[in-house]
């Protein structure tokens, strides 16, 4: 299942964000706190999720849903992208990671994602909400004619992540699987690995 952030689109978003940020002198950004995310991650109810593990390609620790299909990772010079899909192919979660030339804010990453998505997709997308949580993650919720998606962007220095979960509209996605995908996405925390 291809969710709302296909591979080529994610690359264009990250390149555009990095380029624009290079020209924005004095732009402010909020890094996510690794300590706060580690605490948040340790307090999550992980029933139905795999044990926490390190994903070195994405520079994260995460606990995706048990028994979900791990799709082939997408990797290129700009970014890395991994998705997990429910057995019935109705629900998914994913993470995209990039190391940008200059630090960018999570808000800027979401803004570019919205702009690029609306200009490259043939179906009309709708932003349903956007907010920043106390951990510094910039959340968004939206849908188009095919998918409903909720996710967040987070940055730490030059590292940037987009984490999301979503489901097919008009399908038979179960509320339990939708909740499991959201819980798996919420389990994502950056690692402290050096590039």
- Do 96 and 161 contact (CB within 8 A), yes or no? yes
Domain residue limits at 133: 7-188
Domain count, the chain: 1
User: Is residue 170 assigned to a domain?
Assistant: yes
113 secondary structure, DSSP code: H
For the question of whether the overall pTM of this predicted structure is more than 0.95, the answer is: no
> Which pair of tokens denotes residue 50?
């795999």
Q: pLDDT (tens digit, 9 = 90+) per residue, 83-117?
A: 999 999 999 999 999 888 888 888 888 876 666 55
CA–CA separation, 122 and 103 (whole Å): 31
Q: pLDDT (tens digit, 9 = 90+) per residue, 9-50?
A: 444 444 444 434 333 333 344 566 777 887 888 888 889 999
Phi then psi for residue 36, to 5 deg, are -65, -40
CA–CA separation, 130 and 174 (whole Å): 24
The bridge status of strand 60-62 relative to strand 189-190 is: antiparallel
User: Is residue 195 assigned to a domain?
Assistant: no
User: Is residue 164 assigned to a domain?
Assistant: yes
Q: Could you tell me the CATH number of the domain that includes residue 93?
A: 3.40.1000.10
- Do 126 and 1 contact (CB within 8 A), yes or no? no
């Amino acid at each position: 299942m291809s969710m709302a952030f296909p591979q080529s689109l994610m690359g264009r978003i990250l390149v555009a964000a990095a380029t624009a940020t290079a020209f924005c002198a004095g732009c402010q950004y909020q890094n996510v706190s690794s300590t706060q995310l580690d605490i948040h991650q340790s307090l999550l109810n992980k029933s139905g999720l795999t044990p926490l593990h390190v994903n070195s390609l994405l520079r994260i620790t995460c606990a995706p849903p048990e028994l979900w299909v791990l799709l082939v990772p997408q990797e290129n010079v700009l970014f890395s992208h991994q998705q997990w899909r429910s057995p019935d192919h109705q629900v998914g979660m994913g993470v995209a990671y990039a190391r940008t030339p200059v630090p960018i804010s999570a808000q800027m990453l979401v803004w570019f994602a919205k702009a690029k998505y609306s200009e490259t997709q043939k179906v009309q997308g709708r932003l349903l909400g956007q907010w920043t949580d106390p951990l510094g993650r910039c959340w968004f919720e939206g849908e188009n004619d095919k998918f409903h998606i909720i996710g967040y962007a987070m940055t730490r220095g030059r590292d940037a992540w987009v984490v999301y979960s979503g489901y097919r509209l008009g399908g038979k996605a179960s509320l339990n699987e939708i909740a499991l995908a959201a819980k798996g996405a919420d389990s994502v925390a950056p690692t402290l690995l050096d590039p």
